[in-house]
Amino acid sequence: MTVTYSLNVSKARLLGFAKLLFRWRGSIYKLLYREMAIFCGLYYSLSALYRYVLKESQRTVFEKLALYCEAFTNLIPLSFVLGFYVSIVVSRWWDQFTSLPWPDKPCMLISAYVHGRDERGRLIRRTLARYLSLLSVLSFQAVSTAVKKRFPTLDHVEEAGLMTKEERTVYEEISVVHGKWWIPAQWFTALATRARKEGRIKDDVLLSDLLNELHIFRGNCGMLFSFDWISIPLVYTQVVTLAIYTYFMASVMGRQYLNPDKGYPGYEVDLYIPIFTVLQFFFYMGWLKVAEQLINPFGEDDDDFELNWCLDRNLVISFLIVDEMCQRHPRLVKDQYWD
Amino acid sequence: MTVTYSLNVSKARLLGFAKLLFRWRGSIYKLLYREMAIFCGLYYSLSALYRYVLKESQRTVFEKLALYCEAFTNLIPLSFVLGFYVSIVVSRWWDQFTSLPWPDKPCMLISAYVHGRDERGRLIRRTLARYLSLLSVLSFQAVSTAVKKRFPTLDHVEEAGLMTKEERTVYEEISVVHGKWWIPAQWFTALATRARKEGRIKDDVLLSDLLNELHIFRGNCGMLFSFDWISIPLVYTQVVTLAIYTYFMASVMGRQYLNPDKGYPGYEVDLYIPIFTVLQFFFYMGWLKVAEQLINPFGEDDDDFELNWCLDRNLVISFLIVDEMCQRHPRLVKDQYWD
Amino acid sequence: MTVTYSLNVSKARLLGFAKLLFRWRGSIYKLLYREMAIFCGLYYSLSALYRYVLKESQRTVFEKLALYCEAFTNLIPLSFVLGFYVSIVVSRWWDQFTSLPWPDKPCMLISAYVHGRDERGRLIRRTLARYLSLLSVLSFQAVSTAVKKRFPTLDHVEEAGLMTKEERTVYEEISVVHGKWWIPAQWFTALATRARKEGRIKDDVLLSDLLNELHIFRGNCGMLFSFDWISIPLVYTQVVTLAIYTYFMASVMGRQYLNPDKGYPGYEVDLYIPIFTVLQFFFYMGWLKVAEQLINPFGEDDDDFELNWCLDRNLVISFLIVDEMCQRHPRLVKDQYWD
Amino acid sequence: MTVTYSLNVSKARLLGFAKLLFRWRGSIYKLLYREMAIFCGLYYSLSALYRYVLKESQRTVFEKLALYCEAFTNLIPLSFVLGFYVSIVVSRWWDQFTSLPWPDKPCMLISAYVHGRDERGRLIRRTLARYLSLLSVLSFQAVSTAVKKRFPTLDHVEEAGLMTKEERTVYEEISVVHGKWWIPAQWFTALATRARKEGRIKDDVLLSDLLNELHIFRGNCGMLFSFDWISIPLVYTQVVTLAIYTYFMASVMGRQYLNPDKGYPGYEVDLYIPIFTVLQFFFYMGWLKVAEQLINPFGEDDDDFELNWCLDRNLVISFLIVDEMCQRHPRLVKDQYWD
Amino acid sequence: MTVTYSLNVSKARLLGFAKLLFRWRGSIYKLLYREMAIFCGLYYSLSALYRYVLKESQRTVFEKLALYCEAFTNLIPLSFVLGFYVSIVVSRWWDQFTSLPWPDKPCMLISAYVHGRDERGRLIRRTLARYLSLLSVLSFQAVSTAVKKRFPTLDHVEEAGLMTKEERTVYEEISVVHGKWWIPAQWFTALATRARKEGRIKDDVLLSDLLNELHIFRGNCGMLFSFDWISIPLVYTQVVTLAIYTYFMASVMGRQYLNPDKGYPGYEVDLYIPIFTVLQFFFYMGWLKVAEQLINPFGEDDDDFELNWCLDRNLVISFLIVDEMCQRHPRLVKDQYWD
C-alpha cells in the first residue's frame, strides 16, 4: 500500500521534513542500500588497490585515470535530464491513480434507477454491480502482477464469485484474438437494455445516464490498460539510466583518494569515508529510484497502489449499495435547526 | 486561514513586492526563525572552536575540512531539484483547493427541483442539504487535523446537528471494514428517488441532474481523501530534504572564517556575520518551506485552508438556500433601462 | 486595459520583436524606471564615496567588500527560481482570464427558452439577465480595486440600475456572516422555476439546461473570488523577492569601479556607466515585474483586465439579447449559392 | 499554410532530423538571413576598424572593451529565460489551433434534427449553416490580417455570399459600441427556436443539443478573439528580446579577433570567419524566432494557419452537409462479413 | 508495435532500470549505432591525420583548432534546449495516443439503442458500425505510412470489406477539393436519423446520445489528422538539430588526442578510445532520438502505434458487439454472496 505521511507534515514546523528522514518503509535507504553496498565495495577495492597493490609507476597511471574520470563527471547534466524525466513519470503516476475505476457512482445510479423490490429486481441490480467488478478484475489482471498472482486463471475468478459458471462458458465461447476484458461491459449494456424494456428503468434518459456511467468505468479500465501497454519510450529510460550509471562509474574512480603529497587540486584531504560522494550517490540515485518506483504503480513496491485491496473493497461496497441499502434511507425527522 | 495579499499588489508599483517582505504572518521569517537559530548556533560554535580552542595543527585540519566542505556545496544542484519538486507540490496544492466541495449548486438545484411547500417538502429538502454537509464532515475528518480535533467522534457530529440519532444508529449498523464516509451519498440517492416517486420531482431528467450534482460533490470529497491518502512518494521528499540538509551541513563548515593570512581564495574577509550565507539559507530553506507548507494544505499552517470554516459556512448557506429562500425571489418590477 | 501587440508581430520579419522595444505603455521601462533611478543613485553614491571620500586604507576594505559581494552574486540561481515562479504566475493569470464570466450564452438561452411576448415575458427575461450582471458586480467588488472604487456601496449598485430598491431590501434582510454575493443566483433559480411553472419554459430539460448555464456563470464568479482569496503562498513570493533584492544589493557594491591599477580580475576597465549591470538589472527586475504585474490581473496596471468595461459591456449586450433581439432574426431569403 | 514534415520523419533513421536542415520554406535560414547579414556586417566593420584603422593605443582600449563584453555574455542566462518563454508561446500556439471552430458537428446535427424536405426546410438549414460561417468570418476579421485583407468591409462579406442584404441592414441597425461579431449566434438561436415551434425540430432535447453545439462554435470564435486581445504581457516579451539583443551586441564586440600575440586567453586563433559565434547566433536567435513565428499564428508566416482556407472549406462543406447530403445515405446492402 | 517493459520494472529492485540497458528492440543502440559508426570513423580519421600525416607546424594549427572547438562545446546549453523540446514532443506523443478513436462505446450504444432483431435491424446496426471503421481507415490513410501502404487506394478499402461498391460510387461522386474522410460520419448521421424515424431508436435523447458518441469518434480522427498536419514548427526542430550536430562536429575535433607533452590542460591522457566522448554522444544523441522516434508515432519505428492492428481489432470487435452479442447476456443466476 502507499506510504502516507500527510498527517506528519500537516504543519510546517521546526525541521518538519527532516523527521521524514528517519523512516524505513518506502524510504530512500530501503530502496538504495543494495546499490550503495555495491558502490562502496567497488570504491574500497579500488582504494585498496591504489594504496597497497600498485607500484609507483602504476599509481601515476591510476592518478591520471582518476583525474580524467573526475573531469568527465562534469560533462553530463544529470540533474537536467533527471528533472525532466521524473516530471513525466510523476505526472503519469498521478494520472494512473486518477484513472482507477470506482464503482460508487454507477452502483448508486443502479440502485436509484433500476426499480423492483422483487427477487428479479435484486438479481438484475446485483448482476449489474457484479459485472463492474468482473470488468475491473479482467483488466487489472493485465496491469498488475499482484492481481495476476491472485487470479492467475479464470478458475480463480469464478471461485471468487465474480463470475458464474454460465458466464464463464459464454465468455470462453467468444473467440477473438484480441483482448476480451471488455465483454462484461457489453453484458451490462444488454442487461440494462433489458431492464428498460421490462419497465424497471422508467425513462430512456436514465438508461442513457447509466450507460454513460458504465463507459466512464470501462474507459478507466482501458486507460489503466493503456498506461501499462504504452510505456515511456524505452530509449528515454535508457538514456537516463545510462547517464546515471556512467556518472557513478566515472565517479567511483574519480573521487578516489590520491596521494595528497602530489598536490592534485581537490585531492588534498584523505577522508577514508568519501562522505560527500556517498551523499551525492543518495541524491542522484534516489532521484532515479523515484522514477523506478513510480513507473509501474501497480507493482509490489511499498508505495504502489494495491489493486487487490481495491477489488475487495469495490465488490463489498457495490453489493451493499445496490442491494442492502437500495432505496433505503433513515426515517426523516426534523433537524435541530428546524425553525 | 490563508494569507491574502492580492490587494496589496494590485498595481505593479515602486518596490511592489518589496513591501511584502515586512510581513510576519505566513512569512518566511516566521517559518524559518527556529531553523535559522540552530544554524547560527552551530556556525558560531564552530567559529569559536576555531578561533579560541584549537591548536595550530588542529586548525590546519579544520581548514582542510572547511575547504573540502565548501567544494562539496557546488556538487548538488539544489535549485534544480527544488524547482521541479516545488512545482509538483504547488500544482497539487491548487488541485486540492479546486477539489473543495461546495454545496451551492446542488442546494440551488434541490430548491428548484424538489417541489412542495408543505412540511414534508421542507423536510426532504432540508435533509438532502444536510446529507451534503454530513458527507463532507465525514470525509474531512480523515483529511484535516483541525476537523478531527473538532469532531473527534460521531457524538460530536450528532451534537452539531449534522446527523440525527436515528441516522447514527443506521450508520453504525452498516458493517464494512472499508471507509464508510460515502454512506450519506447513498441516503441522498434513496431520498431523491423517493421524492421522484412521490412526484415532488417532476421529471426523470431532473432527478438525473440532481444525482449528477451529488456525485460531483461526493467525487470532490473523495478527491480530497485521495490527495491525503496518496502522498507524493516518500522517497522524492526524502531526496529533496536530504539534499538541502546536507548542503547546509556542509555549508556551516565550509563558510567558516579562516585565518585570512593563510590566503585561501574566497576567505579573505573576516565578516563576523556571514551575511550572504544567511541569505542563502533563507533562500533555499525558504523554498523548501514552501513545499512543507503546501504539501498538506488542510493542516494548521497560517496559509492552510480552514475546513472548519467551510463546514460552518456550507451548513448555514445550504439551509438558507433550500428552505428560507426556496423558490422565492423579489417581486418583479421594471428595471430602469426598460424602453 | 491590456496592451495588445499581436498585429505588430503577425509576421516574423526582420527585427520583429525588436520593434516592441520602443513602446512605453505597459513596457519594462515604465515599470522599472523608478527602481532603476534608485539603483543608479545608490551606485553612484558608493562610487563617489570610493573615488573622492575614502582614504587609502578604507579603500582597501571597500575593495575587499566589493570582491566579496561580487562572489556572492554567483551563489543564488536567480534565473531558476524566477523561471519556475513566473511560470506559476503566468498560468494563474491566464486561468483567471478564462474564468471571466460572460453572459452571452446564458442570455441567448434565456431568449430561446423563456417564451411569451407579453410584458410579463419581457420582465422575466430582463430580470433573469439582470441577475447575471448583479451576480458579477457583487463578486467583482471583492476582486477588483477598480470595481470597488466605482461601486463602493450597494447604493451605487442600485443607482446603476443593477438592483431594484425591492431587491436591495430583500438582499439586506438576509443575514449571514459569510459572503452574500451568490444570492442573485438563487433568485435566478427561483425565477426560472416560476417561469417553468407558468409554462413559459416548455420542458424540464430546458430548465435544467438554463440552470446549468447559470451555474457555470456563478462558478466563474466564484473562481475569480477564489483566485483573489487564495494567493500564491506568501512565502514563495518572499523567497523570490528576497533573492532578487539581495542580489542587486550585492551587485550595487560588487560591480563598483575599483582602481584598475590594483589588478583585481574583472575590474580592469573604468566604464563610468556600468552598462551591463544596468542591462542585467533590466533583465532580472523586469522578469520579476512580469510576476508583479500579473499576480493580480484585476488591478490598475496597464496590462490588467478592465472589469468595469466588462460589466458595462455585459449589461448592454445581455439586455439586447434577451429583449430587443429576442427570437427575432432577419427574414429568410435564398443565399447566392442556392442550387 | 503550415509546414508539414511528419512524413519525412515517420521513422527514426540515420540522420533523421539532419535531413530537415536542408529545407528553405519555414526554415531558420529563411527567418534569420537578414539578421545574420546585419550581424556579420557589424562584426566585420568592427574587425576592419581594429585591424586597419586604430592606432596601437586605441587598440588597447578596443581590446579591453572586447574582454569586458565577452565577460558580460556569461552573465545573462539566455537559455533559461528562452526555455520558459518559448514554452508559454508554444502552448498558446497549440491552444489557438485547437480553438479553431469547425462547423462539421453542428452542421451534421442541423441535418439530422431539422426536418422537412420542402423549400422552407432547406432554407432554414442552409441559413443556420451560413450563420456559422458568418459568425466565424466576423470574428476572424479581428484576429487575422489575411482575413482582414480579404474582407476589409461588410461589403466584401456580403459580396462573398456570407450575408444577405437584409441581414446586413439588420446588423448595421444594431447600435452597440462593443463588438458585434456574436450577432449571428443570436440569429441562429432565434431561427432554431422558430424551427422548434414549427415542429421541424421534434423535441426540446434536440433544440438544446443544437444550441449547445452553436455555443461551442461561438465559444471557439471568442477564444481566438481573446488570444488576440490578451497578448502575452508586453513586458515579458521585452525582457526576452532585450536579453537576446544585448547578448549579441556584447557578443559582436566580445568575439572579435584580437592580436594573438597579446596572449589574451581564448583569443589565440585568428579565424577570419567566427564560425561558432555564427552558429550560436543561429541557435539563440532561431529559438527566439520560434516564439516570433508562433506568437501570432494567424499572420502570414510560412508556418501560420490559413484562416481564409478554413473559411472557404467550412462554407463549402457546411452547405454540402446540410443540403445535398442531408439525411441521405447509400442504399443498405449486406457487408461481406455477413454471417 | 510499442515496446512494453512495465512488467520488468513492476518492482524497484536492485539495479532495476539497469537491466533495461540490455535490450535491443527499440533501444538506444539500435537507433544510434549508425550515427555512432560515422562519428567514430570521423574521429579516428582525424586522429590518424594528426598522429601520422601532419608535420609539426601543421600539428600546432591542428592543436589550436582542437582547443578552439573544445572551448565552443561549452557555449551551447544543449541540455536545456533538449529538455524543453523533448517535453513538448513527449506530451504531443501521449496526446496522440489518447486521441486514438476506439469504437467500443459507440458500438455498445448502437447495440443498446437500435432495436429490431429482424434482418433490417441487423443491417442498420452493422452498417453503422462499419461506418465507424470506414471513417477511421479514411483518416488514418493520411496519418500513417503503414496504413497508406496497406490501403493505397479506395480499391483496397473496398476489397477489405470496409466499403461497399455502392458507397464507393456515392463517395466518389461527391466533389469537393477539400478532404472527404468525414463523409462516413454524415452517412452515420443520416442512417441513425432514419432509424429514429422508423422507431427503431425509441427516443430523441438516445439519438442525440448516439450522435454525440459518433462525433467524439470523428473528433478523435480529426485530431490525429491535425497532429499530422500541424507539425511542431520546423524552425524549432531545426534549432535543436543544428545545436546537436554542431556540438558533435566541434566535439569530434575538440576531444582529439593531442600530444600530452605539450601540456594542454585536459589533454594529459592518451586514451585511444575516447570512452567518455562516446558516452556523451550516446547521451545527447539518444535524447534527440527520443524526439525523433516520438515526433511521428504512427510511422514504422519499433515504438510506434500500429494503426493497422487497431483497424483490424476495431472491425472485428465492432461487428461482434453490434451483431453477435447484441442485447444478449448470460442467463441471470444468483451469485454466491446472495444473502
Question: CA-to-CA distance for B12 and A332, rounded, in angstroms?
Answer: 56
Kindly list the residues from chain A whose CB atom is less than 8 angstroms away from the CB atom of residue E280: 75-76
The size of the B-C interface in CB pairs under 8 A is 223
pLDDT bucket at A12, cuts 50 / 70 / 90: low
In sequence order, the 6+-apart residues with CB closer than 8 A to the CB of A302 are A1, A3, A25, A26, A30
How high is the pLDDT of residue A65? Answer: 85
* Nearest Cα residue to D82 out of E248, A82, E77, C74: E77
Here the cell at position C273 is: 556607466
**B293–chain A nearest CA distance, Å:** 5
Give the tens place of pLDDT for each residue, C196-250: 999 999 999 999 999 999 999 999 999 998 998 888 888 899 889 988 988 888 8
- Cα B310 versus chain centre, distance: 13
Q: What is the 3-state secondary structure (H, E, C) of D13-31?
A: CCCCHHHHHHCCCCCHHHH
Chains that touch E (3 or more CB pairs under 8 A): A, D
**pLDDT at residue D1 is higher than 60:** no
**C294–chain D nearest CA distance, Å:** 8
Q: Decide if E108 and A185 are in contact by the 8 Å CB cutoff.
A: yes
Question: CA-to-CA distance for A327 and E12, rounded, in angstroms?
Answer: 46
Question: CA-to-CA distance for E167 and B21, rounded, in angstroms?
Answer: 72
**D9–chain C nearest CA distance, Å:** 26
Q: Which of A127, A215, A230 sits opposite E2 (nearest CB)?
A: A230
How high is the pLDDT of residue B12? Answer: 62
Give the tens place of pLDDT for each residue, B183-235: 999 999 999 999 999 999 999 999 999 999 999 999 999 999 899 888 888 88
Q: Which of C88, C161, C288 sits opposite B90 (nearest CB)?
A: C88
Give the tens place of pLDDT for each residue, A26-83: 788 888 888 889 999 999 999 999 888 889 888 888 888 888 888 777 777 888 888 8
Give the tens place of pLDDT for each residue, A186-232: 999 999 999 999 999 999 999 999 999 999 999 999 999 899 888 88
How high is the pLDDT of residue B276? Answer: 82
Chains that touch A (3 or more CB pairs under 8 A): B, E
Kindly list the residues from chain D whose CB atom is less than 8 angstroms away from the CB atom of residue E87: 87
How high is the pLDDT of residue E13? Answer: 65
* Inter-residue contact D306 to D102 (CB < 8 Å): no
Kindly list the residues from chain C whose CB atom is less than 8 angstroms away from the CB atom of residue B14: 34-35
pLDDT mean over D184-192: 96
C3 vs E296 pLDDT, higher one: E296
Q: Decide if E21 and A242 are in contact by the 8 Å CB cutoff.
A: yes
* Nearest Cα residue to A211 out of D123, E104, D191, E124: E104
Q: Decide if C300 and B329 are in contact by the 8 Å CB cutoff.
A: no
Counting every residue written for chain A, the total comes to: 339
Kindly list the residues from chain E whose CB atom is less than 8 angstroms away from the CB atom of residue D205: 204-205, 208
Q: Is A122 left (phi over 0), alpha (psi -120 to 50) or beta?
A: alpha
pLDDT mean over B155-167: 92
Query: Which H or E element spans position D40?
Result: helix D28-48
**C332–chain B nearest CA distance, Å:** 27
* Inter-residue contact E274 to E43 (CB < 8 Å): yes
Phi, psi of D120 (to 5 degrees): -65, -40
A314 vs B293 pLDDT, higher one: A314
In this structure, how many other beta carbons lie within 10 angstroms of the beta carbon of residue B18? 15
User: Taking the CA of residue B270 as centre, how many other CA atoms within 13 Å lie in the half-sphere pointing to its CB?
Assistant: 8
Q: Which of E130, E176, E234 sits opposite D26 (nearest CB)?
A: E234
Kindly list the residues from chain C whose CB atom is less than 8 angstroms away from the CB atom of residue B333: 164, 166
How high is the pLDDT of residue E182? Answer: 94
Residue for grid cell 517493459: E5
Question: CA-to-CA distance for A49 and E274, rounded, in angstroms?
Answer: 24
**A14–chain E nearest CA distance, Å:** 32
Question: Within chain B, where are the H helices?
Answer: 28-48, 56-72, 78-98, 104-113, 119-143, 145-150, 154-159, 165-173, 183-197, 204-229, 234-254, 275-294, 307-319
Q: Decide if D286 and E235 are in contact by the 8 Å CB cutoff.
A: yes
* Nearest Cα residue to E44 out of E195, E194, E256, E224: E256
Q: Decide if A3 and B233 are in contact by the 8 Å CB cutoff.
A: yes
Q: Decide if A178 and E276 are in contact by the 8 Å CB cutoff.
A: no
Kindly list the residues from chain D whose CB atom is less than 8 angstroms away from the CB atom of residue E65: 269
Taking CA–CA distances from A2, the nearest residue in chain B reads B230
Q: Which of B16, B21, B79 sits opposite C242 (nearest CB)?
A: B21
Give the tens place of pLDDT for each residue, D95-149: 999 999 999 999 999 999 999 989 999 999 999 999 999 999 999 998 888 899 9
**pLDDT at residue C173 is higher than 80:** yes
Q: Decide if E211 and D109 are in contact by the 8 Å CB cutoff.
A: yes
How high is the pLDDT of residue C301? Answer: 76
Question: CA-to-CA distance for A50 and A259, rounded, in angstroms?
Answer: 9
DSSP string, C197-257: HTTSS--HHHHHHHHHHHHHHHHHHHHHHHHHHSPSPHHHHHHHHHHHHHHHHHHHHHT--
C265 vs A42 pLDDT, higher one: A42
Taking CA–CA distances from C201, the nearest residue in chain D reads D204
- The number of helices, as runs of H, and strands, as runs of E, in chain E is 13, 0
* Nearest Cα residue to E293 out of C270, D17, B172: D17
pLDDT mean over B247-270: 80
Question: CA-to-CA distance for D101 and D310, rounded, in angstroms?
Answer: 9
In this structure, how many other beta carbons lie within 10 angstroms of the beta carbon of residue B266? 13
Question: Within A99-203, where are the H helices?
Answer: 104-113, 119-143, 145-150, 154-159, 165-173, 183-197
The size of the A-E interface in CB pairs under 8 A is 222
Kindly list the residues from chain E whose CB atom is less than 8 angstroms away from the CB atom of residue A208: 205-206, 209
Percent of chain D whose pLDDT exceeds 70: 96
State how far the alpha carbon of C46 is from the alpha carbons of C58, C62, C253, C255, D30, in Å. Answer: 13, 10, 8, 11, 49
How high is the pLDDT of residue D14? Answer: 67
* Inter-residue contact E121 to E199 (CB < 8 Å): no
How high is the pLDDT of residue D11? Answer: 67
Q: Decide if B233 and A28 are in contact by the 8 Å CB cutoff.
A: no
Question: CA-to-CA distance for A115 and A124, rounded, in angstroms?
Answer: 10
Question: CA-to-CA distance for D35 and E332, rounded, in angstroms?
Answer: 77
pLDDT mean over B96-118: 94
Q: Decide if D18 and E301 are in contact by the 8 Å CB cutoff.
A: no
Kindly list the residues from chain B whose CB atom is less than 8 angstroms away from the CB atom of residue C319: 337
Taking CA–CA distances from D143, the nearest residue in chain C reads C7
Q: What is the pLDDT along chain E (339 residues), one digit of tens a residue?
A: 567 777 676 666 666 777 778 788 878 888 888 888 999 999 999 999 988 888 988 988 888 888 888 877 777 788 888 989 999 999 999 999 999 999 999 999 999 999 998 999 999 999 999 999 999 999 999 888 889 999 999 999 999 999 999 999 999 999 888 889 999 999 999 999 999 999 999 999 999 999 999 999 999 999 998 998 888 888 899 889 988 988 888 888 888 888 877 777 777 777 677 888 888 888 888 888 888 888 888 877 777 888 999 999 999 999 999 998 888 899 999 988 887
How high is the pLDDT of residue A13? Answer: 66
Taking CA–CA distances from E34, the nearest residue in chain D reads D14
Q: In 3-state terms, what secondary structure has residue C54?
A: coil
* Nearest Cα residue to B13 out of D85, C145, C279: C145
Question: CA-to-CA distance for E118 and A92, rounded, in angstroms?
Answer: 47
- Highest-confidence segment of A99-113, B141-155, C43-57: A99-113
Give the tens place of pLDDT for each residue, D229-249: 888 888 899 889 988 988 888
Kindly list the residues from chain A whose CB atom is less than 8 angstroms away from the CB atom of residue B128: none
How high is the pLDDT of residue B14? Answer: 67
Q: Which amino acid is at C236?
A: Y
**pLDDT at residue A268 is higher than 80:** no
- Cα E26 versus chain centre, distance: 13
Question: CA-to-CA distance for D144 and D138, rounded, in angstroms?
Answer: 11
Give the tens place of pLDDT for each residue, D244-299: 988 888 888 888 888 877 777 777 777 677 888 888 888 888 888 888 888 888 87
State how far the alpha carbon of D20 is from the alpha carbons of A176, D1, D7, in Å. Answer: 43, 18, 11
Question: CA-to-CA distance for B250 and D105, rounded, in angstroms?
Answer: 64
Here the cell at position B287 is: 523554498
Best of C238, C317, C318 to substitute, by most chain B Cβ atoms within 10 angstroms, is C238
How high is the pLDDT of residue B13? Answer: 66
DSSP B258: -
Q: Decide if A326 and B31 are in contact by the 8 Å CB cutoff.
A: no
Q: What is the pTM of this model?
A: 0.94
Here the cell at position A31 is: 530502496
Q: Which of C84, C120, C164 sits opposite B83 (nearest CB)?
A: C84
Q: Which of B5, B18, B287 sits opposite C239 (nearest CB)?
A: B287
Taking CA–CA distances from A37, the nearest residue in chain E reads E14
Q: Decide if C161 and B2 are in contact by the 8 Å CB cutoff.
A: no
Phi, psi of B227 (to 5 degrees): -60, -35
Q: Decide if C104 and D185 are in contact by the 8 Å CB cutoff.
A: yes
DSSP string, B92-122: HHHHHHHT----HHHHHHHHHHS---SHHHH
pLDDT mean over B104-116: 95
Q: Which of B2, B12, B327 sits opposite C193 (nearest CB)?
A: B327
Question: CA-to-CA distance for C138 and C126, rounded, in angstroms?
Answer: 18
Q: Which amino acid is at C285?
A: M
Give the tens place of pLDDT for each residue, A290-310: 888 888 888 777 778 889 999
Kindly list the residues from chain D whose CB atom is less than 8 angstroms away from the CB atom of residue E193: 112, 327
D295 vs C263 pLDDT, higher one: D295
**pLDDT at residue B52 is higher than 80:** yes
Here the cell at position C180 is: 452574500
Question: CA-to-CA distance for E18 and E134, rounded, in angstroms?
Answer: 44
In this structure, how many other beta carbons lie within 10 angstroms of the beta carbon of residue E195? 24
